[in-house]
């Protein structure tokens, strides 16, 4: 039995759970409004007005979680310094090399040992897609669409229509990003039917060694073979 290593704090687990639930509800209540001919039965279950109400509540929930974690992160940076966040959140040269190597490996052109840090380039990409697409762009466009009459005096009708199209289009983009993440984390060969890390915040030493060897060496002091 391998020892467990903390990967996420209790705060991160809570934020992830609330954000994931908010996004799931947003997809369930939002996508059917785009494709009523195929998914209209979901709307018919409780009615359009209630679906829109639940959608807005979920949107408010996601924005609230994002604002909370932003404030928490700023306070953490002030107390602990920004180096930690720069290392794990912002892309760096190692991520670029990992991206190139992974794609060459997929094409069968090169096979190199995986040497990810705590978060791989793919996971950092997911984090930034949620921040930029789901929280910022979708949040702003969602607020405008929530009360379009409030902005009618400063935004022409054509702009409001464009905002609606952007909101709808990015909802599909967001779903296309989240689904592969869900598959890799829960449905892949070695993690089916689901990963418990999202609840426990820990992973086994074996998993850390195999999937995040650079991070494992850093926290254990083990040298590179």
Separation CA 222–CA 172 (nearest Å): 43
- Is pLDDT of 5 > 60? yes
Mean pLDDT value across residues 160-173: 96
Q: What is the pLDDT of residues 92-108, one digit of tens each?
A: 888 888 888 888 888 87
Q: What is the pLDDT of residues 107-144, one digit of tens each?
A: 877 767 778 888 999 999 999 999 999 999 999 999 99
C-alpha separations of 163 from 21, 58, 141, 167, 172 in Å? 25, 19, 6, 6, 15
Whole-structure pTM over 0.85, yes or no?
yes
Separation CA 131–CA 156 (nearest Å): 28
State the pLDDT confidence band at 224, using cuts at 50, 70 and 90: low
Separation CA 127–CA 113 (nearest Å): 24
Mean pLDDT value across residues 51-57: 96
∠ CA 76-88-93, rounded to 5° = 140
Q: What is the pLDDT of residues 143-164, one digit of tens each?
A: 999 999 999 889 999 999 999 9
3-state secondary structure at position 6: strand
DSSP strand E in 154-222: where?
202-204
**Beta pairing partners, 204:** 4
- Is pLDDT of 54 > 90? yes
Task: Pick the closest to residue 95 from 205, 190, 214, 195 (CA basis).
Answer: 214
Percentage of residues in the chain with pLDDT exceeding 90? 54
Separation CA 23–CA 21 (nearest Å): 5
Q: Which helix (H) or strand (E) holds 5?
A: strand 4-6
Q: Are 33 and 43 in contact (CB under 8 A)?
A: yes
Is residue 84 exposed (0-12), middle (13-18) or buried (19+ Cβ within 10 Å)? exposed
Task: Pick the closest to residue 208 from 124, 117, 126, 92 (CA basis).
Answer: 117
In the block, residue with structure tokens 């509540």: 57
Q: Where are the domains of the chain?
A: 4-220
Instruction: Fold for 4-220, please state it.
Output: Fumarate Reductase Cytochrome B subunit (1.20.950)
Q: Which DSSP state fits 223? A: P
């Amino acid at each position: 039995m391998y020892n467990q290593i903390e990967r996420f704090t209790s705060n991160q687990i809570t934020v992830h759970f609330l954000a994931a639930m908010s996004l799931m509800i947003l997809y369930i209540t939002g996508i059917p409004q785009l494709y009523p001919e195929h998914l209209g039965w979901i709307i018919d279950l409780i009615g359009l007005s209630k679906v829109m109400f639940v959608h807005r509540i979920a949107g408010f929930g996601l924005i609230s979680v994002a604002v909370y974690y932003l404030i928490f992160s700023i306070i953490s940076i002030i107390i602990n310094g920004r180096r930690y966040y720069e290392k794990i959140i912002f892309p760096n040269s190692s991520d670029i090399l990992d991206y190139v190597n992974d794609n060459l490996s997929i094409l069968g052109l090169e096979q190199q040992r995986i040497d990810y840090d705590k978060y791989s380039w793919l996971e950092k990409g997911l984090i930034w897609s949620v921040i930029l697409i789901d929280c910022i762009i979708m949040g702003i466009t969602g607020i405008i669409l929530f009360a379009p009459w409030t902005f009618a005096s400063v935004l022409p009708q054509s702009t409001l229509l464009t905002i609606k199209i952007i909101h709808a289009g990015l909802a599909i983009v967001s779903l296309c990003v989240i689904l592969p993440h869900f598959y890799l984390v829960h449905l892949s060969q070695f993690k089916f039917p689901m990963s418990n890390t999202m609840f426990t915040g820990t992973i086994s030493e074996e998993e850390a060694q195999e999937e995040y060897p650079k991070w494992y060496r850093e926290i254990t002091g083990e040298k590179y073979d």
